[in-house]
Chains A and B, each alone.
Chain A
Amino acid sequence: MPDRTTMPDRTTMPYTEFQTLKLHRRGPVGWLLFNRPDSLNAMNAGMRAELADAWLELDRDPDVRVIVHTGEGRAFQTGVDVAELATDGLGMERYRADLEAYDLHFTAWQQQVSKPVIAAVNGICAGGGFHWVSDADVVIAATTAEFTEPHVSVGQVVAMESIGLLRKMPFEAVMRMALVGRHERMSAQRAYELGMVSQLVPPDQLRDAAQELAEKIARNSPAAMAATKRALWGALETGLTEACRQGAREVVSVWGHPDQDEGPRAFAEKREPRWAEPERAEPEASPR
């Protein structure tokens, strides 16, 4: 059976032709594929720049309600492209200023994407690849996926992606991966047990499963989901009481929204709701 997710809908908004990524839409689902399979989808400077635009394109497309990202080939993502670092004379220097200024734009979280984001981990996820696991809202994985954090083994400090992970799953597992480096890999099964991913799927069914999950999520109110996302990610920033205070603001923010009439009405009339067109709130000025 052909993989239906590779047969995109005609989109009302043609996407940019990227060098390192593929974008398409299938129904309400916007797909973002890492497309450097020969380099295990490593992020080179080009991909880093393209990701910043790709997230915003999908977030702004009114026909997209949920975003799924995955990788072409055997890897999901293996972090910064070490071959480029080794050969172009710039090495990590090219990123130093952005890091010092904390001016990063390659994940959905960094780009303050308002729509739900599902990461579908199709194969190995290594090092910087954890950025997209830690910064996704929902993560599913192929049963054959593997996770490893080689940064320390090559003398690099891993931090931002591990810090994201340790807000979302047990600390010990994150610290163990960070300290053991490339000398160990975590199985998809253990990632599932620890709650790093919520569903395991045979590799040939991963994209269909991601599409199916995304379509479920797409049945919910976009405005309500955007506010829920802000409340839950915001809660990772503060203590419990303060998070609830800020969460209250999000709850109240959707009061009076047309979706709050439409939801119950559709339920009573036994039909799918017709939600208001989502609006992307433009990101705050402060970078993250």
Chain B
Amino acid sequence: MPKLMSIEDFKKLQEDSRRSIRMRMKTGTRIIVGMGTCGIAAGARETLQAIVAELQRREIDAHVTTVGCIGMCASEPLVDIEQAEGSRITYGPVKPHMIPRLIEEHLINGRVVTEWVVGRLGKD
């Protein structure tokens, strides 16, 4: 990215960034893994590896990203699934062995795995 030389440059980058995030959210599948120290201590790295492996196995092209701690440290590792501008559903605690079912039911079959759900973020 080139250096911003003025406030106008900044505003343009702001707009671009917003648009690209919107794009990603509206048209893609986002899988979000909490990767603060609480998450890592609870095993989020292993969960992330399991997610990447499962997506590869099924040849699914989803955007996997990591975020900091959202505050519910006791429920880590937290994994959010967000699809096409829908709500973002938080699952937790998510261990590696739970990933295949999550991907299968939520992504492939469009059904939320209610027994693992923590909550929902979205336009409300």
Tell whether A and B belong to one assembly: no
Footprint of A on B, CB under 8 Å? none
